[in-house]
Each structure stands twice: as structure tokens, then as C-alpha cells.
Amino acid sequence: MTAPDTAARPGRLGVGVVGAGRVGAVLGSALRSAGHAVVGASGVSDASRDRIETMLPGVPHLDVPEIVERSELVLLAVPDDALEGLVAGLADVGAWQPGQLVVHTSGRYGAEVLAPAQRAGAIPLAVHPAMTFTGTSLDLARLTGCTFAVTAPAAVLPIGQALVVEIGGEPVVVDEQARGLYHAALAHGANHLVVLVAQAAQALEAAGVEHPGRVLAPLLGAALDGATRAADLRDGEGPGAIAALTGPVARGDAGTVARHLEVLGDLAAGTGATDVPDSYTGLARGAARRALAAHRIDDAAARALLDVLGEPPKEH
């Protein structure tokens, strides 16, 4: 292993970034700010090469095997579908080295995907930041207080937690078998929130509102803040995020929900945006069921709402 001179800073590592996309370039920069030396980075697109120059100035653009050879910590920030093949391929050519830290940033996978590297003596760590990235310096400040899911064999778990703390994050241990559910929860919340905003903005534009984002920002910001705060009230302490629910479902106002379905159906007919009434209906059903379970509405109100939405109420 051709390591950089880190003798002046005990505990500092030579870091190689494999995949200088939005996540890899930012985390590489954060590790560099924490005192580690970034010895090389790879990226196949022009955008990745630009990020290396911008976020990691002075760091050479290298081929992946050379990065692995030079590094004490290899940061794998590649697409989920590419990760397994990359790790296995590097193992096939004998690239992994004993004692080398191998860290991937995929939310989908735990540490088991790094088994080929571990068999060669490397230390496997799965470290996933629960935030969206722009791939710019703006992300560096947002890392402070950001939750990182850490999955690793018990003996090396503290190493992953320490790396997260070094760059200002908050480590949360997620079991190997729970990684899929963890990642599905994040994707469902963040990705589908974007879809909901797009759908709401389209409906506002159709209603003649010129700047739908300006209208939605304070409303959705307050709703998101209230829901995420309430989400921590659980285990008998309260109803969780549904405590922040407002609007016609929380009031049991089935007539208003029926009117919403009517006008959203008209929007779909006029624009082809059939996803809008479909999403409204599905989420309103979920809201009604959760509101009933949390005693926000009674059985009669839930029955009226779910009748309008085309579904009988569930047992609770």
C-alpha cells in the first residue's frame, strides 16, 4: 500500500474516493477537512471530473485499481446496482489489502456486500448519510448534525461511528437485515415528497396561481416540521407524526374530500395527470386509517371518509 505521509497527524488516513458524484465528492471533501489526505478520486463523467477539481482541488484523477492501491480508506460512492460487482471485481484482481478500511455509502446495502473485500483482510463499513446532496460546498455545512446509518461487524462498528462524528454527523446503528427497510423508508419519505410537491404545484398552476412554490413553501415547511417533531412521540407517548395532521381528513370532512376528488379528476381529464387523483386517494385513505387508529376521528367519520374514497374502514 503506497500511503501518504500522515506521520505529522496521528490517526490520519489516506482516503481514495471511488465515484466522485454528488455524495463521494462532498464526503471526500469533509474527510479532507477533518485532516485526512485524499490521495485520489475517480469519476467517469465530465460532471464528476469537474467535482474533483472543485471539491477536491489538487487531488489526482486516477483509475480505480490505483486508488485502491494507494488508499488506507477506500470510499465507494457508486450507484447501488454497481456496488456488488465493483467490490467483487476488485477482489478478483487482488486489489483489496489487509487492514484497509472499505466504506460504502449505499443506503440499500449493509456490510455484507463488502464480503469479498473482508475475505482479503479489509475492514467493511456501510455508512449512509440520510440527506440529499447537491454535490457542492453547500452540502458541507448540512453534514453537521446529519444522521448517518452505520452498519458493520460489531468489532469494527466504533470505527464507522468515529468517522461519522469526525465530519460532524450523528451515527445511528442499523442492523444488517434492516438496511432494506431503512432505505425504503427514506426513499418513500424524501422521493415521494418531491412528487407530492410537483403534483400540488401543477394543481395550483391549473388554478391560476403564478408562483406555486411561493404558496407551498410556508405551508409545507410548517407541516414537515410539525410531523417530524411529532414522529419521535411513540411507544405509548403519543400518536406519532399523525398528531400533526390537519385538513379535511383530520376534521372528518368527507364532503370536502369528495369535492377534492371531483376537481382533481377534472385536472386529470384536462391534462392527463392521472397520478394526482390516484396519489390523493391513496394517501387520504392512509391518513383516514391512521387518524382513526390515533383517535383523531371516530368510527363514523372514518367510515364516511373511506366510503368517499372507495374503501371500507379497517378493523383497529
> Tell me: the pLDDT tens digits for 275-292?
999 999 999 999 999 999
Report the alpha-carbon distance of residue 112 to residue 115 in Å, rounded.
5
How confident is the model at residue 232, as a pLDDT?
86
The pLDDT value recorded for residue 7 is: 41
Higher-confidence residue of 151 and 233: namely 151
- CATH number for the domain whose boundaries are 14-174: 3.40.50.720
Taking only the tens place, the pLDDT of each residue in 14-68 is 999 999 999 999 999 999 999 999 999 999 899 999 999 999 999 999 999 999 9
Q: Could you tell me which of 105, 96, 104 has the C-alpha nearest to residue 68? A: 96
Residue-wise pLDDT for 256-277, tens only, equals: 999 999 999 999 999 999 999 9
Each domain of the chain, given as residue ranges in start order, spans 14-174, 181-308
For 65-79, what is each residue's pLDDT tens digit? Answer: 999 999 999 999 999
Per-residue pLDDT reduced to its tens digit, 236-255? 445 789 999 999 999 999 99
User: Closest Cα to residue 107, out of 184, 222, 11?
Assistant: 184
What's this model's pTM, rounded to 2 decimal places? Answer: 0.86
Whether the predicted pLDDT of 5 surpasses 50: no
- Provide mean pLDDT across the span 191-208: 97
